[in-house]
Amino acid sequence: MLWFSLLVLIPLLAIVIQASEGGWQAYWDALTSPQTAAALRLTVTQALLVTLVNIVMGTTIAWVLVRDRFWGKQILEVVIDIPFALPTIVAGLVLLSLYGPSSPLGVDWANTKGAVFLAFLFVTLPFVVRTVQPVLIELEPEVEEAAASLGATRFRTFASIILPALAPAITSGAALSFARGLSEYGSLVLLSGNLPYSTEVASVRILSYVEGDKLTEAAAVASILLVVALLVIVLLDLISRRVARHG
Amino acid sequence: MSIKISGVGKRFGDFVALSDIDLDIPSGQLTALLGPSGGGKSTLLRIIAGLELSDAGTVEIEGTDATDLPAQKRNVGFVFQHYAAFRHMSVAANVGFGLKIRKRPKKEIAGKVDELLSLVHLSQFADRLPSQLSGGQRQRMALARALAIEPTVLLLDEPFGALDAKVRKELRAWLRRLHDEMHVTTVFVTHDQEEALEVADQIVVINNGRIEQVGTPDELYDRPSSEFVMSFLGPITMLDGRLVRPHDIEVVAVPFPDARAGRISRSSRVGFEVRLEVNLIDTPQAPPVLVTLTRAEATAKRLDQGAAVWIKPVEADWSCHGR
Amino acid sequence: MAEVLTEPPVTARAAVTGKVITVRSHSGFRWVPRLVVITYLFFLVIWPVALVAKATFSRGLAPVIEALQQPDVLFAFQLTLSIAFWAVLINTVFGVIISILLTRYTFPGRRALSAMIDVPLSVSPIVVGLALLLVYSGRTGWLGGVLESAGLQIVYAPPGMIMATAFVSLPLVIRELVPVLNEIGTDQEQAARSLGASAMQSFLRITLPAIKWALLYGVVLSLARSLGEFGAVKIVSGGVAMRTQTATLLVEERYQQFGLDNTITAYTAAFVLALIAVIALVVVTSLRPKEEYR
pLDDT at C294: 36
pLDDT at C200: 86
pLDDT at C118: 78
Query: Please, which residues bridge with residue B185 across strands?
Result: B153
pLDDT at B16: 92
Sign for the CA dihedral angle at B166, B170, B171, B176 comes to positive
pLDDT at B29: 94
Best of B47, B97, B100, B139 to disrupt the A interface (most A CBs within 10 Å) is B97
The separation between CA B118 and the C-alpha centre of its own chain, rounded to angstroms, equals: 26
Q: Is the pLDDT of residue C197 over 90?
A: no
Neighbours of chain C (3+ CB pairs under 8 A): A, B
- Region B254-267: mean pLDDT is 90
Q: At what angle do helices A215-246 and A202-211 cross, to 10 degrees?
A: 150
Query: Please, which residues bridge with residue A130 across strands?
Result: none
**0.90 exceeded by pTM:** no
Least confident of A25-29, A57-61, B71-75: A25-29
Least confident of A55-64, B235-244, C177-186, C240-249: C240-249
**pLDDT-derived band at A7, boundaries 50, 70, 90:** low
Q: Do C281 and A85 touch (CB under 8 A)?
A: yes
Least confident of A157-166, A220-229, B168-177: A220-229
Question: B146 and chain A: CB distance < 8 Å anywhere?
Answer: yes
What are the CB-based long-range contacts (under 8 Å, 24+) for A18-27?
Answer: A18/A215, A18/A216, A18/A218, A18/A219, A18/C134, A19/A216, A19/A219, A19/A220, A19/A222, A19/A223, A21/A216, A21/A219, A22/A216, A26/A216, A26/A220, A27/A220
Strands (E), B105-181: 153-157
In angstroms, what is the C-alpha Rg of chain C? 25
Residue in C49, C131, C167 nearest the CB of A94: C49
**pLDDT-derived band at A184, boundaries 50, 70, 90:** very high
Residue in C45, C51, C134 nearest the CB of A15: C134
- Region A163-179: mean pLDDT is 92
Strand order in the sheet with B15-25: B15-25, B3-12, B56-61, B64-65
**pLDDT-derived band at A129, boundaries 50, 70, 90:** very high
Q: Is the pLDDT of residue C23 over 60?
A: no
Q: Which residues of C touch A219 (CB under 8 A)?
A: 130, 134
Residue in C1, C4, C13 nearest the CB of B287: C1
Nearby residues of B193 by Cβ (< 8 Å), 6 or more positions away: B34, B232, B233, B234, C5
DSSP symbol at B130: G
Other CB atoms within a 10 A radius of the CB of residue C250 amount to 27
- Cα(B208)–Cα(B43) distance, integer angstroms: 12
pLDDT at C19: 38
Q: What share of chain C is helix, strand, coil (3-state, %, to 5)?
A: 75, 0, 25
Q: At what angle do helices C158-184 and C125-136 cross, to 10 degrees?
A: 120
- Cα(A94)–Cα(B211) distance, integer angstroms: 64
- Region A26-31: mean pLDDT is 84
Q: Which residues of B touch C4 (CB under 8 A)?
A: 235
pLDDT at B275: 93
Q: Which residues of A touch C173 (CB under 8 A)?
A: none
Inter-chain Cβ pairs, chain B and chain C, closer than 8 A: 43
pLDDT at A3: 56
Q: Which residues of C touch A131 (CB under 8 A)?
A: none
Closest CA to B245 of B213, B280, B220, B264: B220
Highest mean pLDDT of the ranges B112-126, B246-260, B283-297: B112-126
User: What is the three-class DSSP state of B8?
Assistant: strand
Q: Which residues of C touch B278 (CB under 8 A)?
A: none
Closest CA to C48 of A95, B124, B219: A95
**pLDDT-derived band at C136, boundaries 50, 70, 90:** confident
Q: Which residues of C touch B13 (CB under 8 A)?
A: 16-17
DSSP symbol at B268: E
- Region B56-81: mean pLDDT is 91
| Strand pairing class (B153-157; B185-190) | parallel
Name which residue leads in pLDDT, A242 or C162: C162
Regarding an ipTM greater than 0.85, the answer is: yes
**pLDDT-derived band at B317, boundaries 50, 70, 90:** low
Least confident of A136-145, B112-121, C43-52, C55-64: C55-64
Closest CA to C193 of C203, C180, C182, C181: C203
- Region A97-110: mean pLDDT is 87
- Cα(B88)–Cα(A160) distance, integer angstroms: 10
**pLDDT-derived band at C207, boundaries 50, 70, 90:** confident
- Cα(A218)–Cα(A209) distance, integer angstroms: 5
Residue C138 has phi, psi (to 5 degrees) of -60, -35
Q: Do A85 and C134 touch (CB under 8 A)?
A: no
- Region B115-143: mean pLDDT is 94
- Cα(B273)–Cα(B293) distance, integer angstroms: 6
What are the CB-based long-range contacts (under 8 Å, 24+) for B193-197?
Answer: B193/B34, B193/B232, B193/B233, B193/B234, B193/C5, B195/B32, B195/B160, B195/B168, B196/B32, B196/B34, B197/B221, B197/B233
pLDDT at C82: 93
Least confident of B4-8, B153-157, C164-168, C183-187: C183-187
**pLDDT-derived band at C239, boundaries 50, 70, 90:** low
- Region C192-211: mean pLDDT is 86
User: What are the tens digits of pLDDT across the range C40-66?
Assistant: 999 999 999 999 999 888 888 888 888
| Strand pairing class (B237-239; B260-270) | unpaired
In angstroms, what is the C-alpha Rg of chain B? 24
pLDDT at A18: 83
Mean of per-residue pLDDT scores for chain B: 91
Least confident of A119-133, A226-240, C44-58: A226-240
Nearest Cα residue in chain A from B52:
A145
Closest CA to B249 of B316, B301, B308: B316
Q: Is the pLDDT of residue C16 over 60?
A: no
Closest CA to C127 of A84, A8, A236: A8
Contact B172, B195 (CB under 8 A): yes
pLDDT at C243: 76
Residue in A125, A154, A182 nearest the CB of C44: A125
Q: Is the pLDDT of residue C138 over 80?
A: no
- Cα(B39)–Cα(B158) distance, integer angstroms: 13
Strands (E), chain B: 3-12, 15-25, 30-34, 56-61, 64-65, 76-79, 153-157, 185-190, 202-207, 210-215, 237-239, 242-244, 249-252, 260-270, 273-280, 289-294, 308-313, 320-321
Least confident of B51-60, B82-91, C106-115, C253-262: C106-115
| Strand pairing class (B185-190; B202-207) | unpaired
Q: Please give, rounded to a whole number of angstroms, the shortest distance from the CA of B82 to a CA of chain A.
A: 8
pLDDT at A46: 94
Tell me how far apart the 2 most distant CA atoms of chain C are, in Å.
89
User: What is the three-class DSSP state of C31?
Assistant: helix
Q: Do A90 and C55 touch (CB under 8 A)?
A: no
Residue in A149, A153, A164 nearest the CB of B77: A149
Residue in C51, C135, C267 nearest the CB of A14: C135
- Cα(C89)–Cα(C84) distance, integer angstroms: 8
Nearest Cα residue in chain A from C250:
A89
C-alpha count within 13 angstroms, C-beta hemisphere, residue C219: 16
- Cα(A85)–Cα(C283) distance, integer angstroms: 12
**pLDDT-derived band at C25, boundaries 50, 70, 90:** very low
User: What are the tens digits of pLDDT across the range B29-61?
Assistant: 999 999 998 889 999 999 999 999 999 999 999
Q: Do B98 and A151 touch (CB under 8 A)?
A: yes
Question: B131 and chain A: CB distance < 8 Å anywhere?
Answer: yes
Closest CA to C207 of C221, C190, C219, C194: C190
Q: Which residues of B touch C3 (CB under 8 A)?
A: 235
User: What are the tens digits of pLDDT across the range C72-115?
Assistant: 899 999 999 999 999 999 999 989 988 988 888 888 778 778 87
Query: Please, which residues bridge with residue B77 across strands?
Result: B154
Q: At what angle do helices C260-292 and C247-256 cross, to 10 degrees?
A: 150
Q: Which amino acid is at A4?
A: F
Question: B84 and chain A: CB distance < 8 Å anywhere?
Answer: yes
Q: Is the pLDDT of residue C18 over 80?
A: no
Q: Which residues of B touch A164 (CB under 8 A)?
A: 88
Q: Do B131 and A247 touch (CB under 8 A)?
A: yes
Residue in B76, B82, B85 nearest the CB of A149: B76
Q: Is the pLDDT of residue C6 over 50?
A: no
Q: Please give, rounded to a whole number of angstroms, the shortest distance from the CA of B67 to a CA of chain C.
A: 15
Closest CA to C217 of C293, C290, C153, C151: C290
Contact B82, B162 (CB under 8 A): yes
Name which residue leads in pLDDT, C92 or C148: C92
Q: Is the pLDDT of residue C148 over 80?
A: no
pLDDT at C292: 44
Question: C25 and chain B: CB distance < 8 Å anywhere?
Answer: no
pLDDT at C152: 73
Nearby residues of B182 by Cβ (< 8 Å), 6 or more positions away: B147
Question: B101 and chain A: CB distance < 8 Å anywhere?
Answer: yes
- Region B193-200: mean pLDDT is 94
Q: Is the pLDDT of residue C242 over 80?
A: no
Question: C280 and chain A: CB distance < 8 Å anywhere?
Answer: yes
